[in-house]
Amino acid sequence: MQHAPGFLDIVNEAKTRVSEIDADTLESWITQNKSFVLIDVREQSEFADGAIAKAIHISKGVIERDIEKTIFDKSVPLVLYCSGGFRSVLAADNIQKMGYSAVWSLTGGSKNWLTTGREFSQK
């Protein structure tokens, strides 16, 4: 998919403020039972087709509205992902602005997760 230049501009700007985590690191955090919350910011229909194990769903369209109702402690580590790593960067940028202090976006999103030999758990 070819993204619009304006969209890529705001994603690239957000990336200057957002930390990213790669699939290997995320997998090791999951395996080690590291304390963090994994948030799938894709649309509900995408999430319903499968997601990374242990992920909760809060779509990008409502994350700013709902994050404080779901994750009360703003110091809890959060890893966000979408399909390609663009929407999750934008969502991570916004929730950092809301005071969440330990936020990462999965580099390359779920597409990278899957193409590197990992699987989704079925919902």
Assign 55 to helix, strand or coil.
Answer: coil
Beta-ladder partners of 10? none
The residues annotated with a catalytic role in the active site are 82
Q: Which of 49, 122, 59, 115 is nearest to 88 (CA)?
A: 59
| Token reading at 69 | 């109702």
Sorted by sequence, the CB contacts under 8 Å of residue 95 that are 6+ apart come out as: 63, 64, 67, 78, 80, 103
